[in-house]
């Protein structure tokens, strides 16, 4: 076996898995503020003010990245139990989308569709009258409106990340009814109830609050123990009209990525989430891991498992390497 490993040349020749900037999507946090704000638990990641967003995205475009995924940090004063700020025609993410599309029309923009940035309780939807559950169908109705607004603002893909039942079909039907056939759907299909989302919730201020409901996201996100159930979610989203499906998180779920890749023909995305990024940085800060080597290996492994493209906080740094 070592004949195929004995030199740089032969190793490059038989290298099986390619990774290119066009296969990486950078999550971008935006803020109402007028200065960049560091995110403590995501070293190297900042929230970008609207005024700096055009220039920031022009740089990302020049690196050849596949696109950006926009996430707003909403002023707590604008949050409510029903997350109605999500439907305000001038809400931060819509202004950000218009700004990016004006400055860099060719950069693909993926807009997250879920209510968690806007709700006081941090859930992805609205609660039932007694607060004991997230109301599926009432939430889907709001997500449809939210998706239409994000599409009209210029999002290339709307990306429902809420895990309500039936939302992909409802969003597709509403887009089509408006005559909006070009806007696509990247479905967060196999999204697990994961501890690895912690730093993201710091970044957008969506962590479940003290005095909150105690209701767990496990009532809508997948159980990390469940493989077959993840495949059912993917099949449903494809049947409902998803153009692309996603597995999230990525690194701890490489088996799911591979099974999904082997079963569907649509493009498969994987989201290397905030906690995956943070743990590599944290270990590197202590001198326990080599940052760039661990970063590169983690991304290669996600591609090798079968992801066509990867949402990752490393996108920009990797493309600059
Ligand atoms: C919310 C959403 C989450 C992420 C993306 N969209 C977090 C959650 O479900 O609480 C997590 C991304 C990350 O951790 O990087 N709809």
Answer yes or no: are the C-beta atoms of 122 and 209 closer than 8 Å.
yes
- The boundaries of the domain holding residue 285 are 18-319
pLDDT (mean) for 190-207: 94
Tell how far the Cα of 83 is from the centroid of ligand 1, in angstroms.
Answer: 16
pLDDT of residue 273: 98
Q: Look up the CATH number of the domain holding residue 212.
A: 3.20.20.70
What interhelical angle do 228-240 and 254-263 show, nearest 10? 40
* C-beta of 42 in contact with ligand 1 (< 6 A): no
> pLDDT band at 212, cuts 50/70/90?
low
Active-site annotation holds for 79: no
Q: Whose CA is nearest to atom 11 of ligand 1?
A: 197
Tell how far the Cα of 169 is from the centroid of ligand 1, in angstroms.
Answer: 21
Tell how far the Cα of 10 is from the centroid of ligand 1, in angstroms.
Answer: 41
* C-beta of 161 in contact with ligand 1 (< 6 A): yes
pLDDT of residue 44: 97
Report yes or no on 1 lying in a domain.
Answer: no
Sequence-distant (6+) residues with CB within 8 A of 195 are 275
What phi-psi label fits residue 31: left (phi over 0), alpha (psi between -120 and 50 degrees) or beta?
Answer: beta
* C-beta of 200 in contact with ligand 1 (< 6 A): yes
Report yes or no on 265 lying in a domain.
Answer: yes
pLDDT 10s digits, 41-95? 999 999 999 999 999 999 999 999 999 999 999 999 999 999 999 999 999 999 9
Report yes or no on 12 lying in a domain.
Answer: no
pLDDT (mean) for 6-20: 98
Strand 244-248 relative to strand 67-73, pairing: unpaired
Active-site annotation holds for 248: yes
Report yes or no on 148 lying in a domain.
Answer: yes
pLDDT 10s digits, 120-172? 999 999 999 998 999 999 999 999 999 999 999 999 999 999 999 999 999 99
> pLDDT band at 253, cuts 50/70/90?
very high
**Alpha-carbon gap, residue 189 to 170, rounded angstroms:** 15
**Alpha-carbon gap, residue 89 to 274, rounded angstroms:** 29
Q: Tell me the pLDDT of the chain averaged across its residues.
A: 96
Report yes or no on 8 lying in a domain.
Answer: no
Tell how far the Cα of 77 is from the centroid of ligand 1, in angstroms.
Answer: 21
The residue with tokens 């759907």 is: 185
pTM for this structure? 0.97
Burial group, residue 293, by CB count within 10 angstroms (0-12, 13-18, 19+) = exposed
Structural domain tally of the chain?
A: 1
Of the given ranges (35-44, 202-211, 261-270), which has the lowest mean pLDDT? Answer: 202-211
Catalytic residue among 73, 79, 101, 191: 191
> pLDDT band at 209, cuts 50/70/90?
low
């Amino acid at each position: 076996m070592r004949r195929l490993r004995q030199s740089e040349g032969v190793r490059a020749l038989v290298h099986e898995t390619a990774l290119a900037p066009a296969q990486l999507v950078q999550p971008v946090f935006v803020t109402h503020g007028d200065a960049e704000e560091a995110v403590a638990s995501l070293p190297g990641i900042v929230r970008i003010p609207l005024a700096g967003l055009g220039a920031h995205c022009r740089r990302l475009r020049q690196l050849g990245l596949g696109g950006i995924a926009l996430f707003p940090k909403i002023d707590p004063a604008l949050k409510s139990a029903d997350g109605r700020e999500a439907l305000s025609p001038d809400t931060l993410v819509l202004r950000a989308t218009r700004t990016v599309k004006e400055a860099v029309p060719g950069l693909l923009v993926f807009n997250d569709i879920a209510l968690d940035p806007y709700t006081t309780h941090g859930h992805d939807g609205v609660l039932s009258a007694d607060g004991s559950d997230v109301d599926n169908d009432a939430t889907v109705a709001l997500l449809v409106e939210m998706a239409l607004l994000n599409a009209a603002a210029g999002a290339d893909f709307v990306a429902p990340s809420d895990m309500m039942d039936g939302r992909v079909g409802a969003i597709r039907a509403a887009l089509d009814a408006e005559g909006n056939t070009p806007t696509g759907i990247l479905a967060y299909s196999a999204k697990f109830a994961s501890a690895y989302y912690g730093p993201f919730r710091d970044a957008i201020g969506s962590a479940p609050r003290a005095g909150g409901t105690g209701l767990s996201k496990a009532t809508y996100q997948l159980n990390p123990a469940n493989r077959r159930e993840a495949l059912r979610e993917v099949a449903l989203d494809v049947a409902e009209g998803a153009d692309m499906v996603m597995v999230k998180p990525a690194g701890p779920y490489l088996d799911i990525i591979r099974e999904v890749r082997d079963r569907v023909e649509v493009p498969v995305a994987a989201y290397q989430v905030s906690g995956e990024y943070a743990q590599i940085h944290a270990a590197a800060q202590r001198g326990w891991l080599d940052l760039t080597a661990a970063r590169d290996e983690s991304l290669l492994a996600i591609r090798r498992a079968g992801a066509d493209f990867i949402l990752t906080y490393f996108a920009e740094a990797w493309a600059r390497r």
